[in-house]
Amino acid sequence: MTELTMKHMDEITLTGYSTFVSLPTMENVDEVSKQKSAHFVILAQSGKFGALMAGSRDKIGYAVGTTRNESLSYFAGANTTTAAEDTEQLVLPANDYVVLTAQGAPSRKLFDQLIRQFFGEILPNHPELEYKDTYVIEALLNGNPMEAVVELAVPVKVK
């Protein structure tokens, strides 16, 4: 069962690594999902993501998908004190968000389910919500990507 809430979130600065993946469409959503997972696997196997999480202030792993031209910038990182030479920082502004949560399956599967639910069901059925930015935040809350507890936060403005 997915839970829907509205929440104001303060500005947060994340440190991590970006890659570009295909712009998601209804036809290629499974391929984009594989590209996102591959980015995390590479970071995990190299030890880079573990290093970020070692200094994490909140023990949450974040991913942020941002639409840029004809592709999707996919950022994986943490709210961390760890500084590595090849990392970049991403500042997420304070904003009101629709927050969806799910648990009990692999994180990528849950995130994809929540994204489909937000854009396919919630946004079309709630005309008072305006999706005013071009990013979504994926947060792995329990540190276990195989039996995950996740949160999807989408910035909105109430009309």
Provide the pLDDT for residue 158.
85
Q: State residue 22's pLDDT score.
A: 86
The tens digit of pLDDT for each residue in 64-83 reads: 999 877 788 999 999 999 88
For 29, the domain range is: 3-158
Question: What CATH number is attached to the domain comprising 104?
Answer: 3.20.80.10
Mean pLDDT of 142-158: 94
Number of domains, the chain: 1
pLDDT at res. 70:
79
pLDDT at position 139 is 97
Are 75 and 16 contacting, i.e. CB atoms less than 8 angstroms apart?
Answer: yes
Which residues, at least 6 apart from 17, have a Cβ–Cβ distance to it below 8 Å? 39, 43, 48, 75, 76, 77, 86, 87, 88
pLDDT bucket at 2, cuts 50 / 70 / 90: low
Give me the mean pLDDT over the 27-34 stretch. Answer: 88
Question: What are the pLDDT digits (tens) for 86-117?
Answer: 999 999 999 999 999 999 999 999 999 999 89
